[in-house]
Structure 1
Amino acid sequence: MLTSTYIHIPRVGATIEKKIWASGVRTWDEFSDKKDVVPIPRSRMEMILPGIEESKERLASHDFEFFARSLPSAEHWRAFSMFSEKAAYVDIETTGLSPGSSHITVIGIYDGKDAKTFIHGIDLDDVVEEFEKYEYLVTFNGARFDLPFIKREFPEVNMNKLHADLMYPLRRISLTGGLKKIEVELGISRKEDVAGITGFDAVRLWHQYRKGDQEALELLLEYNREDTINLKTIMEMTLPRFIEHKFSESI
């Protein structure tokens, strides 16, 4: 989808992009070859052609920060396929809902192969170095919740990365509600011991652990791991639907 994207180019908005797609032109290469069939002003054409060349160069050099800056945040999902090899699926657990009055208890990061959990009072500080490994973050409601918490507690973490908050593109394809509800709708199941756990339970489990219940911590970590692993499953299952929906807007 990234190589069919134009809205990151200066002075190119959604209306122009839709006109390009509606003319039968999708990819950057197609635009260069068939620009004469695209019904847009010459002034825009003169912006798009060099913008395409720069985009190709930036993509070839794997310049994720360029696309993180230039793409609207709500459209970062378009870059997933190109940067998925260095994607982190992130989910946090906290003592409450506000970064100002609560703190992180667990940060879970899944890199597509291994699920890692970082725990308050044990190794939570290690996430600063861990985040340096990734170019792309995938969350659910992370723009409003997970990333502000992380940035408040670890301001040194570089957040100049691509970030797909799945909650928003999922809404566009009529998958609404919380993460667990959407998992059910997509036919994604959880292990029996964590299937019924909610975010409120996660707070309770943390307090039980702080009182000496080690099994409560293990259950909390398993719950968090399932969250991060399922984010990858959801992204891979729904990305084709995101793309289909986006192109359908130009018809």
Structure 2
Amino acid sequence: MLTSTYIHMPKIGATVEKRIWSSGIRTWDDFLERKDELCIPRSKMELILPGIEDSKEHLMSRDFEFFAHSLPKAEHWRAFREFSDKVAYVDIETTGLSPASSHITVIGIYDGKDAKTYVRGVDLDDVVEEFEKYDFLVTFNGARFDLPFIKREFPQIEFNQLHADLMYPLRRISLTGGLKMIEVELGITRSEDTVGISGFDAVRLWNQYERGDQEALELLLEYNREDIVNLETIIDKTLHKFIDKKFSESI
């Protein structure tokens, strides 16, 4: 989808992008080959042609920061396929809902192979170095919840990566509600131990762990690991629908 994208180019908006798509031109290479077929203002053509070359160079050099800054945040998901080899699926557990009055208990990071969980009072500080490994972050409600919490506790983390908060593109394809509800709609199952556990239960489990219940921590970590692993399953199941929905808007 990234190589079908034009809205990250200066002074190119969604209207021009949709006009390009409606002409049957999807990729940057298609545009370069068939530009004479397009009915767009010459002024826009003179911006898009160098914009394509510039974009190709940044993509070739894997300059994720360029696309993170130039793409609208709600459209970062478009770059997922190009940068998914260095992706982190992220989810946190906390003692409450407000970063000002609560704190993080667990941060889970899944790279598509290994699920890592970082625990307050054990190794939570290690996430600072861990986040530096990734070009792309995937969360659910992370723009409003997870990343602000992490940034408050670890202000040195830049969060300069591309970031797809799946809650928003999922809404565009009529998948609404919380993460667990969407998992059910997509046919994603959880283990017997974690079925029915909610964010409020996660707070309870942490409190039990602080009172010495090690098994409560293990259940909390299993719950968190399923959250981050399931994020990968969700985007695998829905990315093509995000793309189809976007292109259908140009018809």
Q: CA deviation at 1:37?
A: 1.4
Q: CA deviation at 1:68?
A: 0.2
Instruction: Kindly provide the CA deviation profile for residues 71-101 of structure 1, in whole angstroms up to 9, marking residues without a partner as x.
Output: 0000000000000000000000000000000
Task: Give secondary structure in 2 for the equivalent of 1:177.
Answer: coil
Task: Give secondary structure in 2 for the equivalent of 1:35.
Answer: helix
Gaps of 5+ in 2: none
Distance in 1, Cα, partners of 2:137 & 2:157 = 13
Q: Could you tell me which residue of structure 2 aligns to residue 97 of structure 1?
A: 97
Task: Give secondary structure in 1 for the equivalent of 2:233.
Answer: helix
Verify: 1:45 aligned to 2:45, yes or no: yes
**How many aligned residue pairs are there?**
251
State the one-letter code of the partner of 1:187: G
Q: Could you tell me which residue of structure 1 aligns to residue 133 of structure 2?
A: 133
Q: Could you tell me which residue of structure 2 aligns to residue 33 of structure 1?
A: 33
Matches within 5 A, 1:74-223: 74-223=74-223
Instruction: Kindly provide the CA deviation profile for residues 194-233 of structure 1, in whole angstroms up to 9, marking residues without a partner as x.
Output: 0110000000000000000000000000000000000000
Q: CA deviation at 1:112?
A: 0.3
Q: CA deviation at 1:145?
A: 0.1
Instruction: Kindly provide the CA deviation profile for residues 126-183 of structure 1, in whole angstroms up to 9, marking residues without a partner as x.
Output: 0000000000000000000000000010011120100000000000000000000000
Distance in 1, Cα, partners of 2:37 & 2:92 = 48
Superposed CA RMSD in Å reads: 0.4
Verify: 1:63 aligned to 2:67, yes or no: no
Q: Could you tell me which residue of structure 2 aligns to residue 10 of structure 1?
A: 10
User: What TM-score do the two structures reach when normalised by structure 1?
Assistant: 1.00
Distance in 2, Cα, partners of 1:247 & 1:101 = 43
Distance in 1, Cα, partners of 2:38 & 2:104 = 50
Query: Which stretches of structure 1, 4 residues or longer, exceed 4 Å deviation after superposition?
Result: none
State the one-letter code of the partner of 1:70: S
User: What TM-score do the two structures reach when normalised by structure 2?
Assistant: 1.00
Distance in 2, Cα, partners of 1:107 & 1:93 = 6
Distance in 2, Cα, partners of 1:102 & 1:15 = 43
Distance in 2, Cα, partners of 1:38 & 1:124 = 53
Gaps of 5+ in 1: none
Task: Give secondary structure in 2 for the equivalent of 1:156.
Answer: coil
State the one-letter code of the partner of 1:218: E
